[in-house]
Structure 1
Amino acid sequence: MKAVSCVHGTLSVVEMDDPEPADGQLVVTVASCGICGSDLHAKDHADEVSGLTGEMGYRDFMRSDTPVVMGHEFSGEVAERGRKTAKEFKVGTRVVSFPLVRAHGGVHLTGLSPLAPGGYAEQVLVQAAMTFAVPNGLSLDIASLTEPMAVALHAVNRSEIKKSDTAIVIGCGPVGLGIICQLKTLGVATIVASDFSPGRRALAARCGAHVVVDPKVESPYEKSGSKGAVSDATALYETGMSAMEKLRKLPGWQHVYRVADALGAAGPKRPVIFECVGVPGVLDGIIMAAPLNSRVVVAGVCMAADQLRPSMANAKEIDLRFVFAYTPLEFRDTLHMLADGKLDASALVTGKVGLDGVAAAFGALGDPEVHAKILVDPRSAVATP
């Protein structure tokens, strides 16, 4: 079969053996595979990432000197079944799959390890237990968005955001745009999106942001109009003292205070901020500028060493939550949200290429004004996104 191999940062189309399914595995003919930001980074910085994953205990991440077939956001049709696979996965069944596969004595990251070739290929090997049939006639192009939209759903779930809250999304690349789509689906009252790129801001509005901000010109925190949020320590002290002056006039004021505290009304209102940039300095900048008591969900993956001032986060009581990937249930639920029409992520798709166009697509994704998500269709002859 044909596949796109990456070695020493160079992408090229090669011939390789067709995959063979072991027990509990399926071979899937790839119909669509999204290019992820992690692929862009891993192409040129594989050794750096491999060092980090090695510290985490996974030592088979891709390296620059070892050929690997990337692509972990894929959909397709079952071409072959191994033994001990569920009867629902008949040949021709349209599926998406969690990008993990058993191989070479372990479980490996599909598309990010030389031991688990990914979806920039005519076929890919998957685990049947981690595979899901595509329902309701959903197009396989949109089905391939299941993986990145599950990343977004996980971030939103971990944020514990409520419909009445204000969400502020910093960075409107694919991760930020996916989170905006999920926030819209949840029905969050106010979604503010901030990005330097006019093109990305336009996409953010299409995905459901109520307010879009150019951070060179305006503060996303000020534009959010979040009532009850406090950005200044002096203002917090004044608010607290004024409230106590009124409360102390009431008999049993402490009981009123306890009720207000239980209802979340005793302190400043917290916006929920999603950091979706992953560049050194951004997180510290958010902590400095965010209103007091903000919850910050870190979805951007910063691969370089970074620094922040813990004392600033302490003083402002900033709640930091780091997120990564998703659960099998979130993956399944995202697929069904897309298929049921509850989640619209179509605005993310800005181009499509065949295997011969993958290298050009990687280059095109470097310009935020043109593309957000480019899909790879191995059957296509398109070489320019």
Structure 2
Amino acid sequence: MRAAVVTAGEFEVTELPTPLPGSGQVLIEVTRCGICGSDLHARTHADEMADLALATGYEHFMRRDQSVVLGHEFSGTVVEYGPDCHKRWKTGTPVVALPIVRQRKQPQLVGLSSAAPGGYAEHVVVQESMTMPIPNGLAGAHAALTEPMAVAWHAVRMGRVGKKRPAFVIGCGPIGLGVISMLRAAGVRTIVASDSSLHRRDLAAACGADIVVDPAITSPWDAVQDKGRPHSLTSILDLGFDAMERLRRLPHLPWWYFFRLMREMNAGPAGPVIFECVGVPGIIDQIITAAPPLSRVVVVGVCMETDHFHPAMAINKEIELRFALGYDPGEFRDTLHMLAEGKIDPAPLITGTVGLDGVANAFTILANPQWHAKILVDPHSSAITPL
């Protein structure tokens, strides 16, 4: 089979043996495979990513000197089964799969491990238990976005926004656009998106952002006038005074019961939910410094460098800081069905398609993210530049 193989940061399209599915595995023919930000990082910073993975307990992440077929956002069709499979679907059935397999009882990340070649190829091996049929005739190009959109869905679920609570998305690259799409699908009423790129701001509006700002001109925090939420430490203190003055007018009511009830119902004052989707040093500190008090910050952007922020500022504002990674199989399945049922439109994210011979060029283009969001790889296309 033909595949785009990266070694020491350089791509070469070459012929490889078609992989054989092992026990409990399925060989699929790749229809489309997305180029992910993790792939861009892995091409040039594989050793740093491998060291980080090792420190957190995963020892099989690719190294820079290894030859690897990248690609973990793919759709395809069933070709054949390995031993010990249930053979749930007929040959030719369109499917997607979580990009993880077991090799010699060890988990391997498909497309990010030398032991599990990914989707920048004509074929890829997946685990049958992690494979799902594509419903409702969903196009393979759109189904390939199940994986990155599942990442966004996981982040939105971690944010626990609620329909009436405003959400801010800082950074409108592919993951930020995915978060915006999922916030809209979740019914969030006010979505503010911020990015310095005009093209990305246009994509954010297409994905469902209500308000889109250029942070060089307008602060995202000034884009929504919400008088019912605290905007400073002083306003929080004033809320306490106002509440106590009202409650003390009711002499027979134990006023402390009110506060207990508010805590139990999680109904006290709250700030917005903010999704950090940039992933460069300094952004978390900027958000903590500028965001309203009682905000919940969900960090989705992957910063590969050491970063700093001021804990005292976060403490004074009672900022809640969360970090999101990946998704679970249920979230992956739910995302696939939201795509297939039309609850999410992934079309604005897809800005180009290349063949295997165009993968290196696509990586170069994506290094400057002004014009493209998600470029897909079609192993059967001859396109060198994104079409």
Please classify the TM superposition score into its range, dividing by the shorter chain length: over 0.9
For residues 85 and 165 of structure 1, the distance between their equivalents in structure 2, rounded to whole angstroms, comes to 46
For residues 105 and 6 of structure 1, the distance between their equivalents in structure 2, rounded to whole angstroms, comes to 26
Change (3 A) 1:335 1:245: same
For residues 235 and 188 of structure 2, the distance between their equivalents in structure 1, rounded to whole angstroms, comes to 27
**Is 2:317 the counterpart of 1:321?**
no
Number of residue-to-residue matches in the alignment: 384
For residues 152 and 268 of structure 2, the distance between their equivalents in structure 1, rounded to whole angstroms, comes to 31
For residues 108 and 260 of structure 1, the distance between their equivalents in structure 2, rounded to whole angstroms, comes to 46
Name the counterpart of 1:356.
357
The alpha carbon displacement at 1:263 in A equals 4.6
Change (3 A) 1:67 1:225: same
Name the counterpart of 2:372.
371
Moved more, 23-32 or 224-233: 224-233
**Is 2:32 the counterpart of 1:63?**
no
Q: Is the 8 A contact 2:192 2:220 kept in 1?
A: yes
Report % sequence identity.
Answer: 54
For residues 81 and 106 of structure 1, the distance between their equivalents in structure 2, rounded to whole angstroms, comes to 20
For residues 335 and 262 of structure 2, the distance between their equivalents in structure 1, rounded to whole angstroms, comes to 36
For residues 63 and 383 of structure 2, the distance between their equivalents in structure 1, rounded to whole angstroms, comes to 29
The alpha carbon displacement at 1:262 in A equals 4.4
Q: TM-score, normalised by structure 1?
A: 0.96
The alpha carbon displacement at 1:247 in A equals 2.7
Q: Is the 8 A contact 1:121 1:355 kept in 2?
A: yes
Q: Deviations over 1:189-240 (max 9, x none)?
A: 1000011111111100000000001111111112122332223222322332
CA RMSD after TM alignment: 1.4
SS in 2 for 1:67: coil
The alpha carbon displacement at 1:367 in A equals 2.5
Counterpart of 2:116, as a letter, is: A
**Is 2:382 the counterpart of 1:381?**
yes
Name the counterpart of 2:197.
197
Moved more, 117-126 or 362-371: 362-371
Q: Is the 8 A contact 2:366 2:372 kept in 1?
A: yes
Q: Is the 8 A contact 2:81 2:87 kept in 1?
A: no
Structure 2, gaps ≥5 residues long: none
Name the counterpart of 2:167.
167
SS in 2 for 1:58: coil
For residues 321 and 197 of structure 2, the distance between their equivalents in structure 1, rounded to whole angstroms, comes to 26
For residues 256 and 135 of structure 1, the distance between their equivalents in structure 2, rounded to whole angstroms, comes to 49
Structure 1, gaps ≥5 residues long: none
Counterpart of 2:196, as a letter, is: F
Q: Is the 8 A contact 2:98 2:329 kept in 1?
A: yes
Name the counterpart of 1:240.
240
**Is 2:238 the counterpart of 1:254?**
no
Q: Is the 8 A contact 1:146 1:335 kept in 2?
A: yes
Q: TM-score, normalised by structure 2?
A: 0.96
Moved more, 363-372 or 272-281: 363-372
For residues 54 and 262 of structure 1, the distance between their equivalents in structure 2, rounded to whole angstroms, comes to 40
For residues 266 and 335 of structure 1, the distance between their equivalents in structure 2, rounded to whole angstroms, comes to 35
**Is 2:117 the counterpart of 1:114?**
no
The alpha carbon displacement at 1:15 in A equals 1.2
SS in 2 for 1:192: strand
Name the counterpart of 1:74.
74
The alpha carbon displacement at 1:265 in A equals 4.6
**Is 2:297 the counterpart of 1:334?**
no
For residues 25 and 48 of structure 2, the distance between their equivalents in structure 1, rounded to whole angstroms, comes to 31
Change (3 A) 1:82 1:265: closer
Counterpart of 2:235, as a letter, is: A
Name the counterpart of 2:21.
21
SS in 1 for 2:274: strand
Moved more, 251-260 or 325-334: 251-260
Moved more, 339-348 or 229-238: 229-238
How does 1:33-182 map onto structure 2 within 5 Å? 33-182=33-182
